Amino acid sequence: MAFALRRLVFYLVAAWFAITLNFAIPRMMPGDPATTIFARFQGRLAPEALDALKASFGLTDAPLLTQYGTYLGHLFTGDLGLSVAYFPSPVSEVIGTGLGWTLLLAGTAVCFSFALGTLLGVLAAWRRGGRLDAILPPILSFLGAFPYFWLAMAALWLFGYTLGWFPVRHAYGSDLEPGWDLTFLVDVVRHGLLPASTIVLVTLGGWMLSMRNTMLGVLGGESILYARARGLAPRTIMWRYAARNALLPSVTSFGMALGFVLGGSLLTEIVFAYPGQGYLLLQAVRTQDYPLMQGIFLAITLAVLAANWIVDVVTMMLDPRIR
């Protein structure tokens, strides 16, 4: 328990540091949002509009320390400010349009990919040199090495456009009303299947190989030899002794991957026209929308920290040596 608390304090300090960086970095970028937005109109906006833009975004010349104080104060009250790119909508509302879908799509894909990849890794290592071990790793590495954009486009073109098995865009049919009824849920699954599969396809190899390799190391260890000598059932050795120990490094990377889910999967979102955080982040960077950038970075930072803390706790449970 003390271990978990120690880690918690550590993560709180890390969170403060990240929050401060989050404040500082956008302010070091060149240009200010009003002139950028103005320039983006490419002459379609009268030059007189610049002053109006500056006034409406509340661009102040207040000292940085004052701005930092206001920033911290607002953070704790959950007020992330007004978005510049989607002015005058609040950042929390803008993030809200994609957060749930990102969690659903990328979250499910990462979890599924981790579970399946790890399972395949265990099986491949257990029957080293067997059929599974010989065929899958090269295929999956090959797929994983493809540019994701290309793979997703090809999948979209083949399964969505040519064969027509899956919808080509969006998270649900546009004539459906979002709700918790079966029709809607089925539709969501139908829309999410293709984008999620492409993510799983490219990440599966990584999980499988890392699990397989660690597992092989563990299987070569003396503890396993001892367990065999004691005559334990092979299945017990495989799961309770080998896999459990080999899982530790994978769990750490899983925590990282889970934390980054909130960053969204930009390419997936763009190819499959799926709502989510990745596109918002791109949009925020393009338009120098500091409030929106900060809001998203904050969400990512906190998610990474939280995921890592959970991983620490899980590792603690898996590995008695840490306790």
Binders of other proteins among 282-311, rule CB under 8 A? 283, 286, 288
CB of 22: closest distance to other proteins in angstroms? 18
CB of 59: closest distance to other proteins in angstroms? 11
Binding range to other proteins, per CB under 8 A, among 184-192, 216-224, 237-245, 297-305: 184-192
Nearest to 261 by CA among 94, 116, 109: 109
Q: Is 186 in the site for other proteins (CB under 8 A)?
A: yes
State in Å, rounded, how far the first CA of the chain is from the last one.
8
CB of 165: closest distance to other proteins in angstroms? 5
Q: Is 40 in the site for other proteins (CB under 8 A)?
A: yes
| Six token digits for residue 244 | 């459990």
- Closest CB to other proteins among residues 48, 222: 48
Site string for other proteins, 116-155 (x = CB under 8 A): -------------------------------------x--
- Closest CB to other proteins among residues 253, 283: 283
Question: What is the C-alpha to C-alpha distance for residues 117 and 114, in angstroms, rounded to an integer?
Answer: 5
**Mapping DSSP to helix (H, G, I), strand (E, B) and coil, where does residue 48 land?**
coil
| Residue 82: strand pairing partners | 90
- Closest CB to other proteins among residues 7, 54: 54
**In which residue are the tokens 């509340």 written?**
58
Interacting residue with other proteins among 107, 132, 170, 260 (CB under 8 A): 170
CB of 291: closest distance to other proteins in angstroms? 13
For residue 88, whether the previous peptide bond is cis, meaning omega lies within 30 degrees of 0, is yes
CB of 49: closest distance to other proteins in angstroms? 4
CB of 267: closest distance to other proteins in angstroms? 10
Q: Is 239 in the site for other proteins (CB under 8 A)?
A: no
Count of Cβ atoms closer than 10 Å to residue 161 Cβ: 12
Pick out residues in 82-121 that bind other proteins (CB under 8 A): 82, 84-89, 93-94, 97-98, 101
DSSP code of residue 245: H
Site string for other proteins, 56-75 (x = CB under 8 A): xx------------------
Nearest to 114 by CA among 239, 214, 207: 207
CA distances from 64 to 29, 30, 291 (A): 14, 16, 15
Confirm if 212 and 130 have CB atoms less than 8 A apart.
no
- Closest CB to other proteins among residues 172, 207: 172
| Six token digits for residue 256 | 């990282």
Interacting residue with other proteins among 117, 137, 167, 195 (CB under 8 A): 167
| Residue 319: strand pairing partners | none
Count of Cβ atoms closer than 10 Å to residue 137 Cβ: 18
